[in-house]
Amino acid sequence: MTSTSESVAARLAGHPGLQRLPTPKAELFQLRGFCPADLAAELIALIDADRRPSTIADDNGDAYFRTSETCDLAADLPAASRIEAMITQLSGLDPAYGEPLQGQRYAEGQEFKPHTDYFTPGGRDFERFCTLSGNRTWTFMIYLNDVAAGGATRFKLLDKTFQPETGKLLCWNNRLADGAVNPATLHHGMKVRKGVKYVITKWYRDKPWRG
């Protein structure tokens, strides 16, 4: 097990079928078919059963900045435990550094405007979220269903847009080689135009997770 970004990127690069975006600006990978359809369906049911309005750090006053719903998935739930084990096996990251698994639901018209997953150093909520466990390092996000229209994830500064696809994994390093945060990981959960989008997200930290 590891907590270093260099070893994670090397491990991912060697995985069959996993594609790295050809850019020097960020370490960003995708893997189609990572999550099987039956597991995706179980996770969707859990999200629907226990969702709440999503929140953001460093609130900018825009009530429509993030309009999705979120579900915290307990680690002892069989479906959550199964997908957690799959992410650990793929990444090699020590589970002790991981935040609890989250699910997100986007109904028609809902989105998450351009944002980064790391907490901005010096931001209003930086100390609140980073004092105990440090900043976020890697993000692992899995689409749980196809979406009739919209709902793509756009990395504007990398000139790349990913479409929702059942079971597809996106993962990226939120940091640069020197350990500083990487602004090029700015991404937009674009509006769902038709249907509903479900994803799950797993974030990792600099230090073991302490809540």
CATH number of the domain to which 147 belongs: 2.60.120.620
pLDDT tens, residue by residue, 172-192: 999 999 999 999 999 999 999
Residue 136 lies in a domain: yes
pLDDT tens, residue by residue, 14-56: 999 999 999 999 999 999 999 999 999 999 999 999 888 876 6
Q: Which two tokens stand for residue 208?
A: 């073991």
Q: Grade residue 61 by pLDDT with cuts at 50, 70 and 90.
A: low
Residue 164 lies in a domain: yes
Full DSSP string of the chain: -B--HHHHHHHHHTSTT-EE-S-SS--EEEETT-S-HHHHHHHHHHHHHS-EE---SS--S-TTSB--EEEE--TTSHHHHHHHHHHHHHH-B-GGGBPPPEEEEE-TT--EEEE-SSPPTT-TTHHHHHTTT--EEEEEEEE-S--SEE--EEEGGGTEEE---TT-EEEEESB-TTS-B-GGG-EEEPPEEES-EEEEEEEEESS----
> Average pLDDT of the chain?
92
**pTM for the whole thing?**
0.93
Residue 198 lies in a domain: yes
Residue 108 lies in a domain: yes
Going by C-alpha positions, the residue among 148, 149, 152, 172 that lies closest to residue 164 is 152
Cβ atoms 138, 206 nearer than 8 A: no
Going by C-alpha positions, the residue among 196, 206, 205 that lies closest to residue 68 is 196
Q: Grade residue 64 by pLDDT with cuts at 50, 70 and 90.
A: low
Q: How many domains does the chain have?
A: 1
| Confidence at residue 174, expressed as pLDDT on a 0 to 100 scale | 97
Residue 211 lies in a domain: no
Q: Which domain holds residue 102?
A: 5-205
Residue 210 lies in a domain: no
- The residue-averaged pLDDT of 122-149 equals 92
